[in-house]
Amino acid sequence: PAHKPVEQLFWYRSSKFVMRYWAPIGLAVIAVLVLLGLPFVGVKWGFPDDRVLPRSASAHQVGDRLRHDFAHDSATSVPVVVPDTRGLSPVALDEYATALSRVPDVSGVSAPGGTFVAGNRVGPPGPATGVADGSALLTVNSSVPLFTQASDTQLRRLHQVSGPAGRPVEMAGAAQINRDSVDAVTNRLPLVLGLMAAVTFVLLFLLTGSVVLPVKALMCNVLSLSAAFGALVWIFQDGHLGALGTTPSGTLVANMPVLLFCIAFGLSMDYEVFLMARIREYWVASGAARPAEAMSPAEAHAANDESVALGVARTGRVITAAALVMSMSFAALIAAHVSFMRMFGLGLTLAVFADATLVRMVLVPAFMHVMGRWNWWAPGPLARLHERFGISEGAGAGPTDEAVRRGPITQPVTRIG
């Protein structure tokens, strides 16, 4: 069968349409992505408990009863250990337990010297306390739900209480484990993200010879990933759309968005490399990239637009097919009965979909049309660096000047490049 001329391909025509009406279309897509990403500002990190299981699971049902029907929920208790009690008087331990019991929302403190409520000793020691091997165990019973701002505030106030006779103390429990786990995941996150951005910038610069296009790629990725994360917060943390059949706990599992970001970022940059490599081939073949070419700014701008449309057209089917395969694979995780697996599958599906449609079909053509020849700008020293170390497919890999002058390429995608 005869293949359609490139001007009749959907991807070519859609790119030309977007570049013609870049302002309303581009700004509308940016507004949609920003709006979807806004809930991510209110994200609260946490770690999973029984509520990640389906409501039919016995652990989930018992957890609900403990949270709603009993005064003391063992999951909210905070064990406190004084590692070294040598030379420490029982009075000092009682004074420490008394101070802990005065912290707001503490329902009671079980200490070796008795049970303390609101600063008063009200009974004998409870079961979760004692002294052994030179260490003392106290248990702080809390009335606030886990993974809430009130729980974080209470834990901070417990840490602010001075240990008995100035001795160091250590705390555990679900609230403390949650805080330590989130800190362990997020403490070095800025450094990791900065390193990923730097490596991506360098590789895209070596591919394109531009300092503008790598920045564009990073900005587009931030927009699409923020939209996916915002949707996850809105659904799974805030409980909209019935939390897709799960039980919202008011937090997102801290390690899931980090893992999701790394996978989605890598996939989107993979597609970006395919697309930018082909656009650059057409840009170089147009002759506008050569300083010696006598080409007016208007002609250079037109050559840039044509290169973008041809690049999008020639990679459209391949990237779309790859994105569909990945989306279907990730969407299969949505069938899982564990909420964070469902969140992971939906997040990756949304991220890949946003990148393959809104970003590639709209934001890339609109941005590159606005920037024109400046898309390919780099400072002189960096331009010379790219001439020496730049990444390319080798001489003759792309379309030739003669091919571009002859007009549109009508070969099928599989026979190009």
Position 75 scores a pLDDT of 79
Q: Is 56 a domain residue?
A: no
Q: Which residues contact 72 (CB under 8 A, 6 or more apart)?
A: 107, 108, 141
Position 403 scores a pLDDT of 43
Q: Got the DSSP string for 98-150?
A: HHHHTSTTEEEEEETTEEEETTEEEES--SS-EEETTEEEEEEEE-SPTTSHH
Q: How far is the C-alpha of 389 from the C-alpha of 46, rounded, in Å?
A: 45
Residues 201 and 148 in one domain: no
Residues 254 and 221 in one domain: yes
Answer whether 185's CB lies under 8 Å from 260's CB: no
Residues 310 and 161 in one domain: no
* Radius of gyration (C-alpha) of the chain in whole angstroms: 30
Q: Is 329 a domain residue?
A: yes
Position 308 scores a pLDDT of 94
Residues 148 and 221 in one domain: no
Average pLDDT, the chain: 86
Residues 141 and 282 in one domain: no
pLDDT, mean of residues 18-44: 94
**Looking at the predicted structure, is the pLDDT value of residue 306 above 90?**
yes
**Looking at the predicted structure, is the pLDDT value of residue 190 above 60?**
yes
Q: Is 70 a domain residue?
A: no
CATH number for position 162: 3.30.70
User: In this structure, are strands 45-46 and 252-253 parallel, antiparallel, or unpaired?
Assistant: parallel
CATH number for position 240: 1.20.1640.10
Residues 331 and 250 in one domain: yes
**Looking at the predicted structure, is the pLDDT value of residue 406 above 70?**
no
User: In this structure, are strands 106-111 and 45-46 parallel, antiparallel, or unpaired?
Assistant: unpaired
For residue 346, what are the CA distances in angstroms to 126, 139, 226, 236, 355? 46, 40, 14, 10, 14
Residues 143 and 186 in one domain: no
What range defines the domain where residue 313 resides?
6-42+178-389
Q: Is 160 a domain residue?
A: yes
Please indicate, yes or no, whether the overall pTM of this predicted structure exceeds 0.85: no
Q: How far is the C-alpha of 277 from the C-alpha of 332, rounded, in Å?
A: 31
Q: In percent, how much of the chain has pLDDT > 70?
A: 91
Q: How far is the C-alpha of 361 from the C-alpha of 19, rounded, in Å?
A: 10
Q: Is 302 a domain residue?
A: yes
For the stretch 123-146, pLDDT in tens is 888 888 888 888 999 999 998 888
User: What's the structural domain count of the chain?
Assistant: 2
Q: Is 413 a domain residue?
A: no
**Looking at the predicted structure, is the pLDDT value of residue 362 above 50?**
yes
Nearest to 45 by CA among 184, 154, 156: 184
Return left, alpha or beta for 134; rule: phi > 0 is left, psi -120 to 50 is alpha, else beta. left
Q: Name the residue type at position 320.
A: T
**Looking at the predicted structure, is the pLDDT value of residue 396 above 60?**
no
Residues 137 and 195 in one domain: no
* Number of other residues whose CB lies within 10 A of the CB of residue 26: 20
Residues 236 and 96 in one domain: no
Q: How far is the C-alpha of 282 from the C-alpha of 310, rounded, in Å?
A: 7
pLDDT, mean of residues 141-155: 87
Residues 125 and 163 in one domain: yes
Domain boundary residue among 146, 172, 198? 172
Q: Name the residue type at position 331.
A: A
Answer whether 202's CB lies under 8 Å from 195's CB: no
Residues 32 and 137 in one domain: no
Q: How far is the C-alpha of 363 from the C-alpha of 131, rounded, in Å?
A: 65
Position 133 scores a pLDDT of 85
Domain boundary residue among 172, 206, 224? 172
Position 195 scores a pLDDT of 92
Q: Which residues contact 347 (CB under 8 A, 6 or more apart)?
A: 228, 229, 231, 232, 256, 257, 260, 264
Residues 305 and 380 in one domain: yes
Domain boundary residue among 154, 172, 190? 172
pLDDT, mean of residues 96-111: 92
